A and B are shown apart, each in its own frame.
Chain A
């Protein structure tokens, strides 16, 4: 299946510092249509019919999320754009923000109208501080064009914490606190930011919305697979000749992306979805990229035959142990123990028992961790044990 540009349509085409160039490309027309010709309920129905699902990794149906927040009781509601892409190997949202901040702002304004919110936040990771002026300028220009007359947008900056990409930790961070995951339920559409109904959408999810409003649900849901409509934007790095950002129709083969576009050779394995994502061997390269098979938030790191599985898993776990927020024991302690064992294996000092411990610990963490970080932290361990067990066994004394 081919490359197709929905999300990246304006990237490299418009001037991100000049809204006039955006208006030339039908900019703000979707917002105009939404506000003038559609009720909030009609917008939500259209979104539901489009089949758009969240692009941050979890794949929750976007229209349903909006409907829940619209229907929730509350005088104040909030829209949050999650621009805290901290997943290892992800840089697509940065690419989008740098090139087309206006579509994002338009989408937020549509969300505000549809959900009944008067305020929105863009939570921008500290590592992207250099984009702050560009984003502020784009918001000011959109405001001057009347796009934000019913709804206004603030930017809140993170301060360097991977966990704040997790939606409940992100909300705590906006509230000025340590970014620690919350117990769920309640979920954000009923009780989110400051305990008010809140929707949190990834940058890429929002980027789809103006075109769905303009072109209709049927236009969008004809693209992709049964459960994954539209396109997906991928960030590719590692052992490839052409690292970068690519947008493909949902359901495209991993091979097309990795070998066809990024020009990888002698691939040993691929990590899909970052540190908490999945590790698959080369012989699964014909897997379709879709929610029903394998996707994540679109971070793809390619490893060639020269790479050491244990080194890769060790580095991944060091990252997760550092970034665990520390609130729940299984994640805080579990990731540390995993690092210790991986380090022993890396040095060739592992013992038979280590593999069993890794497997048992994985089960405990998946069952009992508070949020996705701890629940998915065992993925790289279990996947590599499944596909590259010899690499572990050869490190045992």
Chain B
């Protein structure tokens, strides 16, 4: 464990706030490193494995480094019917990575998501918190250009 300043200020919060603390830590540090998990476990008096168990349960939490922008493309049925497979392939071509990977420059991580609740605009993806709907392969590169 590093001796630097607390990465995740807990402000006296306990294990009932663990999920909130993990969400805060991830938004501050980008991902949940071993150090962060160990530190949080100590401050909420839980075992490291229990904290790790929570951190790995949720798909929006990550225990490995992510890119600056996270692309989540929906693969559920309404999007599947509207050729989300084609969008996934054009993203793979554009970024040179597969789902679950991060570009070498650290700009994008690319993940497949289950239903994100915008089925009326299928196929859709989230980039960070932005919704991009009615996607076509042609739109992909323009959209990606707007992220730094």
Contacts and interface: CB of A to CB of B under 8 A. Distances in A.
Nearest to A91: B117
Given A91-B119, A239-B81, A315-B77, A176 B114 contact: no
B48 interface: no
B76 interface: yes
B28 interface: no
A159 B131 CA distance: 17
A178 B129 contact: no
B104 interface: no
Interface in A107-132: 125-130
A157 B59 contact: no
Given A88-B76, A176-B18, A237-B78, A158 B114 contact: no
B17 interface: yes
Contact of B54 (A86, A176, A239, A244): A176
A395 to B, nearest CB: 19
A162 B114 contact: yes
Contacts of B76: 88-89, 275, 315, 319
B130 interface: yes
A161 B129 CA distance: 17
A343 B118 CA distance: 27
A76 to B, nearest CB: 13
B15 A88 contact: no
B93 interface: no
Interface in A126-180: 126-130, 156-162, 173-179
A248 B51 CA distance: 45
Contact of A176 (B19, B81, B115): B19
Contacts, number: 121
A245 B120 CA distance: 8
Contacts of A93: 117
Contacts of A130: 129-131
A262 to B, nearest CB: 10
B22 A159 contact: yes
Nearest to A312: B77
Given A127-B113, A323-B114, A176 B15 contact: yes
Interface string B14-47: 0111111111000000000000000000000000
B126 interface: yes
A301 interface: yes
A5 interface: no
B57 interface: yes
B8 interface: no
Interface residues of B, number: 36
B11 to A, nearest CB: 15
A59 interface: no
User: Most chain-B CB neighbours within 10 Å: which of A87, A89, A158, A316?
Assistant: A89
A127 B117 contact: yes
B77 A127 contact: no
Contacts of B114: 86, 88, 162, 319, 322-323
Contacts of B120: 91, 235-237, 243-245
A128 B60 CA distance: 12
Contact of B59 (A85, A156, A161, A176): A161
B57 A161 contact: yes
Contacts of A194: 16
A93 B115 CA distance: 14
A191 B21 CA distance: 25
A295 to B, nearest CB: 18
A363 B61 CA distance: 35
A301 B58 contact: no
B139 interface: no
A271 B115 CA distance: 15
Complex A-B, nearest 5 residue pairs according to Cβ-Cβ distance, in ascending order = A159-B58, A160-B59, A160-B60, A176-B18, A237-B119
28 contacts: A85-B117, A86-B115, A88-B76, A88-B114, A89-B119, A90-B115, A91-B118, A91-B120, A126-B58, A127-B116, A127-B117, A128-B117, A129-B129, A130-B129, A159-B60, A160-B60, A160-B113, A161-B58, A174-B19, A176-B17, A176-B18, A176-B54, A235-B119, A237-B119, A243-B119, A301-B81, A319-B114, A325-B57
Interface of A: 85-91, 93-94, 125-130, 156-162, 173-179, 194, 235-239, 243-245, 271, 275, 301, 303, 307, 312, 315-316, 319, 322-323, 325
Interface of B: 15-23, 53-54, 57-61, 75-78, 80-81, 113-122, 126, 129-131
Given A89-B77, A243-B119, 6 more contacts: A89-B76, A126-B58, A235-B120, A319-B77, A319-B115, A322-B114
